[in-house]
Amino acid sequence: MSSIIQLLPDHVANQIAAGEVVQRPASVVKELLENAVDAKATDIKLIIKDAGKALVQVIDNGQGMSVTDARLCFERHATSKIRLAEDLFALGTKGFRGEALASIAAIAHMEMKTKQEQDELGTQIVIEGSKFVSQEAAVLPKGTSFAVKNLFFNIPARRNFLKSDTVEYRHIVDEFQRVALAHPSIHFTFYHNGSEMFNLPISTLRQRVVNVFAGKTNEKLVPVQETTDIVTIQGFVSKPEFAKKGRGEQFFFVNDRFIKSGYLHHAIMAAYDGILKDGAQPSYFLYLDVPPSAIDINIHPTKTEIKFDDEHAMYAILRASIKHSLGQFNIAPVLDFDRDANLDTPYGFKDLQGETPTIQVDRTFNPFSDERENKSYNGGGSSTSYKKPPSTANWESLYVGLEKEDEFVATSGIEFENEMVTGSLFNDQEVEQTVQNTYQIHRKYIVSPIKSGMVIVDQQRAHQRVLYEQFLTNMTVNQASSQQLLFPLELYFSSTEMELIAELKLSLVNTGFIFDDSYAEHVVINGIPVNVVESEVSILLEQLLSDLQDGIPENSFSQNDSIAKSMARSLAVKTGTSLTIKEQENLVNGLFACKDPNVSPFQKPTFITMRVEDIDKKFAV
């Protein structure tokens, strides 16, 4: 019987490996940027077109490669980072598997240009789908340039799985930010379709965070610094008042490598316990430096998860250091009996000597003396005259003469305006109509009687349905009404969020928002929808950006639907809110006036009915 197990051809094996390494254009950006960092580059340029589908190019001024290395780097499992298996536990670089370039070259048109500083000529290689098309010498500057074109050209099924340009661009920005934040000593530049999106000069850690996220990031940051035998922690966390609904600006770096860790995130949330609003997420940019032998980074294909030797100690140290920083900078209340800043001596009085107060006593003072009204008591530099109160011994004399009749005022000739009683403000019929027909239970449900029994309404879901249909109608008919603001609102967002708002601007205008000129870091709002409170605008937009962080639907109706759902979720009355009788009735009436009152915008039931027969059965013996 012939054997049925065969070795896969190299191009097939490369395409299979590409399924792990290259999921989307952002994966190519990540691998190429990390290779440029490993090459000890000080200036890295990222150029993309059509969200990376047409072109992803990374240019660096690093060490470059020789002719042999340039050809060998495209072979599978070829790397300069490790030699032995033990090297996996002493890694100081990013890439080490040796599959990235081979996988990328298997599914794209790739062109590489590289030159070492000591060489006169560089090497230019062109590869299409793992096939070497050409290799020749060329005059090049020092460093390496990788240009990846037509990603997934030979796997159209994978290309069809890519999202819209907006979504893919956001993933690329995420990968770029992760690498740029980890290396403030490198100058990064990012171009998209010919426009400069980021220009990050060499700077300090704080300046790099501010340059990446712009806006008012600098005033949000609280520094964190802790050094122990297990880990060295530095970085920044945000003040509680700047916490957001989404988890966008949260970064962990271990040995300058971005990671995701729900366990460490829980430690940060524990440090913020009691000073954050429900559902709010703080921003943080934390850099952990641990011995390479104390971690294992080879447990996940994308290397975004790490296994620590002592996770419990890491959790405790991280939580304590953040809590200490929040207390040290007066962000959170602390108990410190050693020093009180309010008791410190002001700077202008620190060299002055205190004067001993003098006490003056009037030894002749007698409070029972008849002459005390003519004397004064002088003590402590101030004089206060002491007067004798009037005598009340002959109090009867105060009422002498009041019993005479001619002293009384005649009131018989005074006419008073006759006030006719016209009845109560509401007549009896109106009073009967204001009989309470709705009842609120546990500030969550509204009960209203009907002919067949009663209906129980979930107030939050019902209000979501009412608001959802209102917003959707406004956006569809373009007849939304707005209320002008006396003072315009200025809201600051990151560059990525500003791009999302620019795409959603037309739909937001249809809901009732009025925007002034938008700037690079903030938007100015002059008007808001009539059913939106000014204080809720920032919360509403943050929730909207959080809901649409995975992408904006390309279809206009789907986009309007997503915006209406997000705004309805943000503005709907929450469980636990007490409603007046009038508000309860308006909510119930508004619900049953909707086109689809049975379910909320998120397909959850809004009410249930209980018939009298069902209630009778409960009491049946």
Rounded mean pLDDT, 410-435? 55
Residue 16 lies in a domain: yes
Give the tens place of pLDDT for each residue, 489-545. Answer: 888 887 777 878 888 888 888 888 888 876 767 888 888 888 888 888 888 888 888
Residue 526 lies in a domain: yes
Mean pLDDT for the chain overall: 80
> Among 548, 602, 528, which residue's Cα sits nearest to residue 572?
602
Is the pLDDT reported for residue 383 higher than 50? no
Shared-domain flag, residues 227 and 192: no
Shared-domain flag, residues 193 and 211: no
Reading the block at residue 304, the tokens are 């975004």
Residue-wise burial string across 376-415, b where 16 or more C-beta atoms lie within 10 A, e elsewhere:
ebeeeeeeeeeeeeeeeeeeeeeeeeeeeeeeeeeeeeee
Shared-domain flag, residues 80 and 106: yes
* CATH number, residue 190: 3.30.565.10
Percent of the chain with pLDDT over 90: 26
Res. 393 pLDDT band, cuts 50 70 90: low
pTM score, whole prediction: 0.69
DSSP state of 61: -
- Per the model's pLDDT, the better-predicted residue between 422 and 237 turns out to be 237
Rounded mean pLDDT, 385-391? 55
Give the per-residue pLDDT at 421: 55
Rounded mean pLDDT, 280-300? 82
- Kind of pairing between the strands at 221-227 and 55-60: unpaired
Res. 382 pLDDT band, cuts 50 70 90: very low
> Among 605, 566, 539, 543, which residue's Cα sits nearest to residue 467?
566
- Of the residues 328, 345, 366, which one is the last residue of a structural domain? 328
Shared-domain flag, residues 594 and 457: yes
Is the pLDDT reported for residue 552 higher than 70? no
- The values of phi and psi at residue 127, to 5°, are -130, 140
Is the pLDDT reported for residue 218 higher than 50? yes
Rounded mean pLDDT, 226-253? 87
Residue 450 lies in a domain: yes
DSSP alpha helices (H): ranges in 22-119?
Answer: 25-38, 67-72, 100-106
Res. 236 pLDDT band, cuts 50 70 90: very high
Shared-domain flag, residues 36 and 185: yes
Q: How far apart are CA 182 and CA 205, in angstroms?
A: 9
Shared-domain flag, residues 168 and 238: no
Residue 348 lies in a domain: no
Is the pLDDT reported for residue 379 higher than 60? no
Is the pLDDT reported for residue 380 higher than 60? no
Is the pLDDT reported for residue 179 higher than 90? yes
131: which residues sit within 8 A by CB, 6+ positions away?
11
Rounded mean pLDDT, 320-334? 78
Give the per-residue pLDDT at 141: 92
- The values of phi and psi at residue 433, to 5°, are -75, -20
Give the per-residue pLDDT at 381: 47
Rounded mean pLDDT, 126-137? 88
Res. 319 pLDDT band, cuts 50 70 90: very high
Least confident of 59-73, 171-185, 430-444, 573-587: 430-444
Residue 395 lies in a domain: no
Give the per-residue pLDDT at 70: 86
* CATH number, residue 567: 3.30.1370.100
> Among 208, 172, 156, which residue's Cα sits nearest to residue 187?
208
Residue 126 lies in a domain: yes
Contact 82, 96 (CB under 8 A): yes
Res. 243 pLDDT band, cuts 50 70 90: confident
Residue 339 lies in a domain: no
Give the tens place of pLDDT for each residue, 255-268. Answer: 888 988 888 999 99
Residue 359 lies in a domain: no
Shared-domain flag, residues 189 and 322: no
- Kind of pairing between the strands at 109-115 and 55-60: unpaired
Is the sign of the CA dihedral 478, 479, 483, 487 positive or negative?
A: positive
* CATH number, residue 319: 3.30.230.10
Shared-domain flag, residues 557 and 574: yes
12: which residues sit within 8 A by CB, 6+ positions away?
none
Shared-domain flag, residues 49 and 107: yes
- Please state at what angle helix 165-182 crosses helix 205-213, rounded to 10 degrees: 170
Contact 388, 380 (CB under 8 A): no
Shared-domain flag, residues 254 and 302: yes
- Of the residues 328, 362, 381, which one is the last residue of a structural domain? 328
Res. 114 pLDDT band, cuts 50 70 90: very high
- Of the residues 146, 179, 200, which one is the last residue of a structural domain? 200
- Number of domains comprising the chain: 3
First-to-last CA distance in the chain? 77
Q: In the 3-class helix/strand/coil scheme, how is 8-35 assigned residue by residue?
A: CCHHHHHHHHHHHHCCCHHHHHHHHHHH
Shared-domain flag, residues 467 and 604: yes
Domain of residue 154 covers: 10-200
Q: How far apart are CA 164 and CA 182, in angstroms?
A: 28
Shared-domain flag, residues 572 and 555: yes
Is the sign of the CA dihedral 81, 87, 90, 95 positive or negative?
A: positive
DSSP state of 346: P
Least confident of 162-176, 202-216, 456-470, 517-531: 517-531
